[in-house]
Amino acid sequence: MKLKLIEIALFLALFISVTSCLSFEKECDGIREKVLRLHVIANSDTDTDQSLKLKVRDSIISASEEIFTDTDSLIAAENEIVKTLPKIEECAENTVIDEGFSYDVTVRFEPSYFPTRTYENVTLPAGFYKSLKVIIGEGEGKNWWCVLFPPMCLPAAMKEEVLSAVLTEDELSLVSSEPKYEIRFWIVEKLQEFKRSYKRKT
């Protein structure tokens, strides 16, 4: 009888744990659908290429500040990105040339996979996000990312204010990176990695 009670308790604990993780993953989906990210990938990991990556980043962020001045929704932000892709690419290319390099620059707006990442006091769950992706040269170096919408990487942005404008209270609490969420973030990342691996094979 005692053993049976232990089995029931373990089953209930497992059920609650799985249910909690599924609920957490659903909230993570809501966040992914509301966030637009900037992803800049260096040609290589040499000091010069990494330095160039940061200069390209700065030029794109500067241009983005003008692009997103009156943008108040994700759809509007996406439309602005699509409309100004040639301008952004030209901006990145000019920076590369001005710095004395001849690397090609590829700029795309597409879903990109990101692992769990913390930006100051905000943690974003792993998964696919719509992304302005900038690849310098071979694109084999370390990357840099930020949140382009809501405009968290723009100099004048107040992080909590811009987030609270697009996320629900529950989602905002989730990304605040409290210690109690760290295990769930890890579980979600492993789940997303499995899904990503499965998609590659099919």
**Strand partners for 134:** 40, 107
DSSP alpha helix (H) spans, the chain: 2-32, 47-67, 74-98, 159-164, 169-175, 182-201
Beta partners for residue 52, in sequence order: none
Tell me the average pLDDT across 148-177.
71
Count other Cβ atoms within 10 Å, centred on residue 13.
10
Helix axes 74-98, 47-67, angle to 10 degrees: 140
| Residue 116 pLDDT | 85
pLDDT-derived band at 150 (thresholds 50, 70, 90) equals confident
Distance CA 114, CA 126 (A): 5
Q: Angle at CA 142, nearest 5°, toward 137 and 148?
A: 90
* Each residue's pLDDT tens digit, 91-147: 999 999 999 999 999 999 999 888 888 877 788 888 899 999 999 999 999 998 888
Give the pLDDT score at 44. Answer: 96
Output the pLDDT for position 123. Answer: 83
Q: Is the pLDDT confidence value at 180 over 70?
A: no
* Higher per-residue confidence, 57 vs 195: 57
